[in-house]
Amino acid sequence: MLILTCPYCGVKGEETEFHSGGEAHLKRFGPGSSDADFEQYLFMRENPKGVHLERWRHANGCGKWFHAARCTVTLEVFGTYSAQTTEPPQHIRDAISARRPGWTWREFS
Amino acid sequence: MSEAVSALNAATASGVATVEEVGLRGMITLRGDLSGKAVAAAVKAAVGAGVPDVRRIVQGDQGAAAWMSPDELLLLTGYDRAAEAVAAAQDAMGTAHGLVVNVSDARAGFRVSGGGAREVLGKLSPVDFSAEAFGAGQFRRSRLAQVPAAIWANENGSLEVICFRSVAQYVFDLLRVSGETGGEVGFYRA
Ligand SMILES: [Zn+2]
């Protein structure tokens, strides 16, 4: 079972209280971008076995979007953090490193 | 002028707990900066309560205020004074960025009381409703089976539920069936 803690209301809830919002920290390429960039933005997603960064919404709760860093193999959650950021904050990176030394995900490590 | 009625006209059911639809109640959504003076003044003016802490409900002399999200409160008051409370809150908000709206007719409410109340809710929701984890004044949004709901604990041990009016019959039936005699699990022992 996946247990997430909402960083906005502090609820530690199980997966059915939340809704997955897909991969985190996508950089949007819109009108005027190259076809290659747009294709990457629209279709290409990480599908890691291990550390993953995702967006989640506390749908049956306070309703807020947030980010989560978790392991896709064990469902261990390294931490959840604010939606108002374009990259994982240092304390989240440290929490992942403590459990998965040498991890990388896209340009982050 | 049409006569206002609540979703299920005060339906009741009893088994290991008593389930009652609470009937008409004033409910007001207030959104804004919860740490700001304007929201505090609006809550005071509308229901005479303070601003509740995270996941709490506080009583005032004209009703109660509950924490819904980092920028939203739910104010409870008498059905007949909801419009007056909205006006008072809007006045108190002044020019501060925010929203106050009467949602009384958009929601339904239920009270679950009696020895099996915590178990009736516990069977329907992924929440720890033990007395230690969920005491009086706690307020929690979650789901009851397939629909969202807000639940809180009263001083007298009863639990209250608010859901969308459109799913009132569904939620009443959930509570009724969950509370049927013979369905006890005995998980939350006193
Ligand atoms: Zn939340």
Q: How far does residue A59's CA lie from ligand 1's centre (Å)?
A: 8
Of B68, B69, B148, the CB nearest to A60: B148
Average pLDDT, chain B: 96
Q: Are residues B17 and B111 both part of a single domain?
A: yes
- Tell me the pLDDT tens digit for each residue of B118-148: 999 999 999 999 999 999 999 999 999 999 9
The nearest CA of chain B is from the CA of A11 a distance in Å of: 9
Is this complex scored with an ipTM above 0.85? yes
State how many domains chain A has. Answer: 1
Task: Report yes or no on A47 lying in a domain.
Answer: yes
Say if B183 falls within a structural domain: no
- Residue that is last in its domain, among B85, B105, B125: B105
What CATH code is carried by the domain that includes residue A71? Answer: 3.30.2270.10
Question: Which residue, of B82, B105, B128, is where some domain finishes?
Answer: B105
Pairing of strands A19-23, A51-57: antiparallel
Does pLDDT of A43 surpass 90? yes
The string of DSSP letters for chain B reads -PPP--TTSS-EEESSSEEEE--S-EEEEEEE-TTSHHHHHHHHHHHS--PPPTTBEEEETTEEEEEEETTEEEEEE-GGGHHHHHHHHHHHHTTSSEEEEE-GGGEEEEEEESTTHHHHHHTTSSS---TTTS-TTBEEEEEETTEEEEEEE-TTS-EEEEEEGGGHHHHHHHHHHHT-TT-----S--
Could you give the C-alpha distances from A57 to A4, A9, A75, A78, A97, in angstroms and in order? 10, 12, 17, 17, 25
Tens of pLDDT, residue by residue over B92-103, are 999 999 999 999
Q: Is B59 contained in some domain?
A: yes
Among B105, B134, B169, the domain boundary falls at B105
Tally of domains within chain B: 2
Mean pLDDT over B17-31 rounds to 97
pLDDT score recorded for residue B190:
57
| Same domain (yes/no): B19, B67 | no
Model pTM score: 0.93
Centre of ligand 1 from the C-alpha of residue A19, in Å: 11
Per-residue confidence (pLDDT) for residue B188, from 0 to 100 = 87
- Distance from residue B10's CA to the centre of ligand 1 (Å): 31
Same structural domain, B85 and B149: no
Amino acid making up residue B60? G
Q: Is residue B4 in a domain?
A: no
pLDDT in tens, A62-103: 999 999 999 999 999 999 999 999 999 999 999 999 999 999
For residues B82 and B153, membership in a common domain is answered with no
Q: Once rounded to an integer, what is the mean pLDDT over residues B11-27?
A: 96
Mean pLDDT for A42-47 is 96
Residues B38 and B81 grouped into a single domain: yes
Q: How far is B1 from chain A (nearest CA, A)?
A: 36
What domain range includes position A53?
3-99
Residue numbers of the domain that contains B129: 12-23+106-178
